Chains A and B, each alone.
Chain A
Amino acid sequence: MSPRRFSLGGGARVLAALLVLSIPATAAAAHVKGRFEGFRLLQNPVWAEAKDPKNHGYSFREPVPTVRAEFRRPFPYIPKELCLVALAQSPQKPPKPITVSVGGGRTTPVTIVVPPGTLLSFKNTDAFKHRLYGVGQKTFLAGDTNKGATRDWSAPAEPGTYEIRDELAPSLRMWIVSEPNAAAHTFPSMKGEFTVEVPEAGEYTLQAYFSGKKVGAPLPVTIKNEAQDLDASRTPIKVNDKAPPPEDKAADKPDDKAEPKEADKPKEGDK
């Protein structure tokens, strides 16, 4: 997927300039606003696996007819799962330690993009212990984290995606993306709106990550000064433009549109 630079030309440039000028500079850092689209079509991999009967995740699972089919999908809770990162043109220093809360069957956040060496502090907010481990990671072997305790781990120097799991909670899966150019990251609201704060002026690329993978097209932005606030909401980032899964369509099928029974089919000679 080729990056689509957020370039404004002609009247749009003027409009954008007016827009940028209209945003008051209230802080030392620049802000870029934007929004996501299509996030309801994403699937949380844990929940998607859990709904498969082959995995024996339940003894019964029935849809509530009054809930519309478009909602009956394992779409993610994007404020925790969809991470937007502003990628700078050069490698970034590790930011301050980031606390990752472990509780409620998941981590918060679920996906995060940080520069290598970023210290992550996993805090157990549950009333029982967790046993986190990094998949394939010798530097993050399985170990107990009791109630209220924390466990620190730094993002590896090698760029890539690292998965964290819990031996005692199968639903808990976290992805840490070690990205050298990650200058800042943020999470959207439930409506998909986000605001990312970049530390300094420069050219950035906005990239969404979900379940440790890039989703949607990268959006280049140019921050001319630290006081600039850029609103890119008019060009939403489509994180998924695929059609909904067929089971959701089938679930929407009303009973009266079901296949006619053999006895109800019109027979030859019927008028």
Chain B
Amino acid sequence: MLLSRFWYVLLGLVLGLATFMLFLAVSMYNRASTRTLGESLSSDSQVVSWYLRDDARQSSARLIQFEVDQDIARSLQKSSDSESKVPEDARDKTLAAMKKINNAIPKEDQFDAVFAVDQAGRVVGQLGYEQASGQADFELGGYSVVADALRGYIRDDTLVLDRIYRVVARPVEADVGSLPAGAIIGARIMDDRFARELSARTGAAIAFYANGERASSGAPEGFATSQLDQIVGDLGGLDKDDEYRDKGRSKMRTIGGLLGVQYSRLPGEAWALGAGFAVARIPATVDGPFGFFKVADDQDKHKANLPLAIGVAVVAAAIGMLLSVFEHTLPISLFKSEVGKLARGDIDQLTPSRFRGAFRKLAADLNDGIDQMLAKGGGPRRGPADMKQVLGDIPDQPQMSAFSFPGDGAGASGSGPVHTPPAKVLPTAPSNPRLPKPPTRGGAPAGHLEMTMPEAGAGGDEETGQRSRPELGNWGAAPPDQAEWHAVYQEFVGLKQQCGENTDGFTYEKFEQTLKKNQEALMNRHGAKRVKFSVYIKDGKAALKASPLKD
């Protein structure tokens, strides 16, 4: 059982260690995931910024087609020269030229709105901005992006008007070396279409916001854009973010633990108005050790060394089973087998040396228990010892009825032929000192165990009928057992005759054979060196009593 217990302890330690490592892994995974999320969001934010800048440059390049058109240039110059109002023919020519150029531009590259303004900032012609249709005094000259273009600069801007506009502008020159005749301005609305296009090209989930509201959003496949609505509730806290306030880009923020967001301000006037864009990702954190099953995809599961895990489990289980069989099943089976033999009468006692561990002790205790029960006269089922079971079916042979154990100092001692009167053989306590001492019987010395034979004749003392015969042994030239047994034989025959029992055919040879068998059995059971036999009368019949001697 020691190995099994060691294995259980080992398994427990391994299980505890595995649990600890799992929680450790969860913590490390979440920390790494958060760091990666922050880096990813920062990367997304920069990519979006770069894209917006690059897109603005490309858009400004597309404006060259308008810029170099002579009709537009001349019309703008004419309008600039007319301070009072924009000449109608200049409007018409400008608009016609703009339409012609715009139609030649691929649809995906077209601006949502294009404006041609003169030096006064008045809009001479425009496409796409229906809100200003028919408005004669519509102008854009106050915006710095337009003013810069009218003064010889190409630049971009982000304006927050009725919507968010990404604007690029460049000057239109009628005569090289003179003040630009006007400027051409292209604008794209940063609506959902723009956001989706941006998301598709950058791979980021993105939302534009202005005036504390989400203006538009776009997200890659698998990311619900409705999740980006959560930024509205988070925008109010941006003012407390030093990096956002000073550098225009916030730290990574987590909304409700479900969405990682980083905010960036848009360049241009939108910067001052607090408009910007947010990139978002869903954190890939795990709730606990079992959370890995939720976040792991098929590729992760494929990379996991499942055969090794199964192998470790099988080997651990096999070792446990092996130890269990070796330390549990086999000893129990052996014990069961031996007890079965004992129950069937194949053996009279268990052999403790055949068992290991606790079973050895159990066997010894069981033997002691049997002895104690025998000493008490046996239980209801076992009944008194039947000499026929012990000695076999012997006609007219004496039947053992009891065993007596010599007491301290009682009985024969020494190796020499000693005549020990049966009357002095006292019942002794069982080998287990915890067992109760046998009761003393009348006529029998204290410390002797005694069993009576049903056929035993009456005689002996008044209570047990035992009659002690002090002179049983014959310690002559013959071996001690032979001489003693002869004496016992004579005594037994005489006692049988005295009791009126038939002694025909009851020879000494049979008697001796029986005693030998009985002696051997008792010596094996009790580890006695020899056994003393004595005769007595019980229930009116002659009976034999065997006393194992350990001296």
Docked-complex contact A66 and B173, CB < 8 angstroms: yes
A233 CA to B144 CA, complexed, in Å: 32
Task: For B131, list chain A residues within 8 Å (CB).
Answer: 127-128
Partner of A190, one of B49, B120, B132, B137: B120
Please name all residues of chain B whose beta carbon is closer than 8 Å to the beta carbon of A62 when the two chains form the complex: 153-155
Please, what's the 1-or-0 string for A197-220, where 1 marks a CB less than 8 Å from any CB in chain B? 000000000000000000000000
CB within 8 Å for A50 and B144 given contacts A59-B56, A63-B152: yes
Q: Given the known A-B contacts A57-B271, A125-B138, are A71 and B148 also in contact in the complex, defined by CB atoms under 8 Å?
A: no
* A159: interface (CB < 8 Å): no
Q: Tell me whether B265 and A56 are in contact (CB under 8 A).
A: yes
CB B82 to nearest CB in A, in angstroms, measures 11
Whether A224 sits at the interface, judged by CB under 8 Å, is no
Given contacts A51-B148, A58-B267, A127-B131, contact A105 B157 (CB under 8 A): no
Nearest-CB residue, chain B, relative to A69: B152
By a beta-carbon cutoff of 8 Å, the part of chain A in contact with chain B is 44, 46-47, 50-51, 55-64, 66-68, 71-75, 77, 79, 101, 103-107, 125-128, 168-172, 189-190
Knowing A56-B248, A105-B146, say if A63 contacts B177 (CB, 8 Å).
no
Q: How far is the CA of A55 from the CA of B155 in the complex (A)?
A: 14
B180→A77 contact, CB < 8 A? no
Q: Is A46 touching B161 in the complex (CB atoms < 8 A)?
A: no
Contacts of A46 in B (CB 8 A): 142, 144
Identify the closest chain B residue to A53 (Cβ): B267
A-B contacts, 12 listed (Cβ < 8 Å): A50-B148, A56-B267, A57-B269, A61-B153, A61-B155, A62-B155, A77-B121, A103-B139, A104-B141, A105-B142, A127-B131, A128-B161
Q: Given A58-B267, A59-B56, A126-B161, do A72 and B152 touch, yes or no (CB 8 Å)?
A: yes
A8 to B: closest C-beta gap in Å: 30
Q: Which residue of B lies closest to A105 (CB)?
A: B142
Q: Mark B127-152, 1 if CB is under 8 A from A, else 0.
A: 00001100101111111111110011
Give me the interface of B with A, judged by CB distance under 8 Å: 49, 52-53, 56-57, 80, 83, 119-121, 131-132, 135, 137-148, 151-157, 160-162, 170-171, 173, 176-180, 211, 248, 265, 267-269, 271-273
Q: In this complex, which of B80, B143, B145, B170 has the most chain A Cβ atoms within 10 angstroms of its Cβ?
A: B143
Task: Count chain A CB atoms within 10 A of each CB in B56, B142, B178, B268 and give the residue with the most.
Answer: B142
Decide: B83 and A125 in contact? CB cutoff 8 A: no
Give 3 closest A-B pairs by Cβ, nearest first: A106-B142, A105-B142, A67-B152
User: How far apart sit A104 and B272, CA to CA, in the bound complex (Å)?
Assistant: 18
Across the interface, B142 reaches (CB within 8 A) one of A56, A72, A172, namely A172
In the complex, what residues of B have CB within 8 A of residue A57's CB? 144, 157, 267-269, 271
